[in-house]
């Protein structure tokens, strides 16, 4: 089984493109979606497309949704790996296969800002800068590191997880396979009230990270941990 876990919160047109690219992978891939209370027709689209979905009423709540999905795949479904993607991405057809063929327990693609950059031969190169918009995580990593920190609901829990992997001796990296990423796609499609809520939550999450680690996301101290 090659499960794919996707989170959605509105942005239906982006979701359609993301879903299509998952279904066009060159190895069998089974898509599961966690929808966080979308109001733009996303649940109906997924249902009509025959996509398995969980409906949650926690708006956004990325860390909790990741934990819910990964707990299911690794504990209930007894999977050995899961590909986790945003709904504002487009994958190359060989993305899942290439990530799976790498022997790392946490391997990612790298986001690019033009779809045209997905075309052409792949030049794989490991770099220690994982991209959490498209990552393959194996059960061995989940068992050692555990769940994402849900005190950081939307932002910074990816950086927190990267630090926790590093401290447990797990190399998290990209192999350089590109995927198109509509940066801040969810934010762009959010209603004004939702956008304000997201921005306020992001500030709280970054402050929570600083309190936990003693330095800020993206700071020299943060980068220095990995040197």
The CATH number that applies at residue 36 is 3.90.550.10
* Domain span holding position 48: 3-225
Domain count for the chain: 1
Pairing of strands 173-181, 89-90: antiparallel
pLDDT tens by residue, 32-70: 999 998 999 999 999 999 999 999 887 668 999 999 999
Q: Is the pTM of this model over 0.85?
A: yes
pLDDT tens by residue, 80-138: 999 999 999 999 999 999 999 998 999 999 999 999 999 999 989 999 999 999 999 99
Kindly report the backbone phi and psi dihedral angles of residue 58, in degrees, each rounded to the nearest multiple of 5, phi listed first.
-80, 110
Q: Contacts by 138-142 with C-beta closer than 8 Å and gap 24+?
A: 138/80, 138/81, 138/105, 138/106, 139/74, 139/79, 139/80, 139/81, 140/105, 141/105, 141/106, 141/165, 141/170, 142/70, 142/74
CA dist 14 to 82, 87, 89, Å? 21, 6, 7
């Amino acid at each position: 089984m090659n499960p794919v876990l996707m989170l959605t919160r509105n942005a239906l047109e982006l979701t359609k493109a993301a879903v299509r690219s998952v279904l066009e992978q060159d190895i069998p891939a089974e898509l599961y979606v966690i929808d966080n209370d979308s109001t733009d027709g996303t649940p109906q689209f997924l249902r009509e497309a025959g996509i398995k979905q969980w409906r949650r009423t926690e708006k956004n709540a990325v860390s909790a949704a990741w934990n819910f999905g990964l707990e299911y795949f690794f504990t209930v479904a007894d999977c050995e790996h899961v590909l986790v993607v945003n709904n504002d991405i487009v994958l190359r057809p060989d993305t899942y296969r290439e990530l799976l063929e790498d022997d790392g327990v946490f391997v990612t693609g790298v986001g690019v800002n033009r779809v045209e950059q997905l075309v052409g031969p792949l030049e794989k190169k490991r770099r220690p800068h994982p991209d959490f918009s498209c990552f393959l995580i194996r059960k061995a990593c989940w068992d050692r590191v555990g769940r994402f920190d849900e005190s950081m609901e939307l932002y910074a829990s990816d950086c927190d997880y990267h630090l926790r992997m590093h401290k447990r001796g797990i190399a998290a990296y990209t192999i350089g396979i590109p995927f198109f990423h509509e940066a801040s796609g969810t934010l762009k499609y959010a209603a004004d009230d939702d956008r304000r809520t997201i921005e306020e939550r992001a500030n709280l999450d970054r402050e929570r990270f600083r309190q936990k680690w003693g330095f800020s996301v993206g700071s020299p101290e943060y980068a220095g941990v990995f040197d």
